[in-house]
């Protein structure tokens, strides 16, 4: 195959599937590896698909031998804070051990370039805002710990001369591909914007607002929502940096503007025209009051510029997707019902 070949691990997930689309559009050869434990085969928009797990070293060797992989993008991780508090070992195994197995396979096959999906959860409770990459990293949950541990081992491997990497610390990934063909499909769903839109669709009764006594203007948490396609664009820039011999780097990815939970709900009401009932609830464990990125570093060094900065646009793209998803689920239910009505053959 002519051109660069990128292995996208976790390419059937939310951000990974958008990445595959962007890479295909950028004329890269794409190989997707996903165990489909949380991803969806029908969301992979192109490339070669390999179903399998990072724990399977024979499979990894086969993938690296069969395709001449130039770089790896790693999206396959568990990413729910609450779940990580309840099941820390599952997080450490999946997010750290499996990444070590992936890196070992890369090193066996002399593949050097690695782009890692990290998170704002590595910072913990912010001491100063907006958060720069120099802010101390003191995660407050196993999810953040697991991502920070991988960043540490990437730095060590790079020092040992084994790889070059860029680690991208996402703030709140949101929105959907503007085509409406790709978007967020989690089961169970725990993220604010999809939950709010499901409530608008009548799939949920309403939304619990976790914490109304935070020291913010309206008492609810502020988050920095960044469009998924702006995240994938940053990966392309990171890839270019590594391909042209740039140094290892860590970058924040956010819009540098915080929106409160209430502002998100209000904006979704405007976009959807639905009322979206809310109930004030207690704080969710481990939620910092405010998480807002300073992403000046990636803007300055790689020229990253988000295209979908305002919350309304982000929610509009997600709304198109969620309406389609609702239709898909409805069609699926009626097909299943028809199947059940077909009399069994003798």
Whose tokens are 């914490």? That residue is 211
Query: Whole-angstrom Cα distance, residue 26 to residue 22?
Result: 6
Question: Residue with the closest Cβ to ligand UDP?
Answer: 221
Among 9, 111, 199, 261, binds ligand UDP (CB under 6 A): 261
Q: Does 315 bind ligand UDP (CB under 6 A)?
A: no
Q: 14, 78, 123, 143: which one is catalytic?
A: 143
Please state the closest distance from residue 114 (CB atom) to ligand UDP, in A.
24
Q: Which is nearer to ligand UDP, 190 or 334 (CB)?
A: 190
Nearer to ligand UDP, 212 or 323 (CB): 212
Residues linked to residue 29 through DSSP beta bridges, in sequence order: 5
Q: Tokens in use for 16?
A: 């990974």
The C-alpha angle with vertex 199 and arms to 193 and 204, in degrees rounded to 5, equals: 125
Nearer to ligand UDP by Cβ, of 39 and 194: the residue is 194
Element (H, E) at 17: helix 14-25
Residues 164-183 that bind ligand UDP (CB under 6 A): 172
If the CB atoms of residues 181 and 263 are measured against ligand UDP, the closer one turns out to be: 263
226 binds ligand UDP (CB under 6 A): no
Binding mask of the shown chain, residues 183 to 212, with x at each position contacting ligand UDP by CB under 6 A:
-------xxx--x-----------xxxx--
Task: Give the Cα-Cα-Cα angle 122, 127, 128 (nearest 5 degrees).
Answer: 105
Query: Nearest approach, Cβ of 260 to ligand UDP (angstroms)?
Result: 8
- Report the site for ligand UDP in 73-102 (rule: CB under 6 A): 81
Q: How far apart are CA 73 and CA 16, in angstroms?
A: 9
Q: Which residues sit opposite 252 in a β-bridge?
A: 169
C-alpha pair distances (Å), 204 with each of 189, 198, 256, 303: 11, 6, 31, 40
Handedness of CA 316, 124, 237, 28 (dihedral sign): negative
Under rule CB under 6 A, how many of the chain's residues touch ligand UDP? 15
Does the active-site annotation cover 14?
Answer: no
Quick check: 327 binds ligand UDP (CB under 6 A)?
Answer: no
Structure tokens at 182: 């790709």
Given the rule CB under 6 A, which residues bind ligand UDP?
Answer: 81, 172, 190-192, 195, 207-210, 221, 223, 261, 284, 287
Active site positions, annotated: 143
């Amino acid at each position: 195959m002519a051109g660069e070949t990128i292995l996208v691990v976790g390419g059937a997930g939310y951000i990974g599937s958008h990445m595959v689309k962007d890479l295909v559009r950028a004329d890269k050869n794409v190989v997707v590896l996903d165990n489909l434990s949380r991803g969806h085969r029908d969301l992979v928009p192109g490339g070669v698909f390999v179903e399998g797990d990072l724990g399977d070293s024979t499979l990894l060797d086969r993938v690296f031998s069969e395709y001449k992989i130039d770089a790896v993008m790693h999206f396959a991780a568990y990413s729910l804070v609450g779940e990580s508090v309840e099941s820390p070992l599952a997080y450490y195994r999946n997010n750290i051990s499996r990444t070590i197995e992936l890196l070992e396979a890369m090193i066996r096959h002399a593949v050097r370039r690695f782009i890692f999906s990290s998170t704002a959860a590595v910072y913990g409770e912010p001491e100063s805002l907006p958060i720069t990459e120099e802010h101390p990293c003191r995660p407050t949950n196993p999810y953040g710990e697991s991502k920070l541990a991988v960043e540490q081992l990437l730095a060590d491997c790079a020092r040992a001369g084994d790889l070059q990497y860029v680690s991208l610390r996402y703030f709140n990934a949101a929105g959907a591909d503007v085509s409406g063909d790709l978007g967020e499909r989690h089961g169970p769903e725990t993220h604010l914007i999809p939950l709010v839109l499901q409530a608008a669709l009548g799939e949920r009764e309403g939304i619990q607002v976790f914490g109304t006594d935070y020291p913010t203007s309206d008492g609810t948490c502020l988050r920095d929502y960044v469009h998924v396609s702006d995240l994938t664009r940053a990966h392309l820039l990171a890839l270019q940096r590594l391909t042209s011999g740039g140094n290892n780097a860590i970058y924040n990815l956010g819009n540098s503007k915080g929106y409160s939970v209430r502002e998100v709900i209000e904006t979704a009401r405007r976009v959807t025209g639905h009322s979206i009932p809310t109930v004030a609830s207690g704080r969710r464990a481990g939620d910092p009051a405010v998480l807002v990125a300073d992403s000046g570093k990636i803007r300055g060094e790689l020229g990253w510029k988000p295209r979908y900065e305002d919350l309304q646009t982000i929610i509009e793209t997600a709304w198109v997707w969620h309406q389609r998803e609702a239709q898909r689920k409805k069609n699926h239910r009626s097909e299943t019902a028809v199947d059940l009505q077909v009399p069994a053959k003798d």
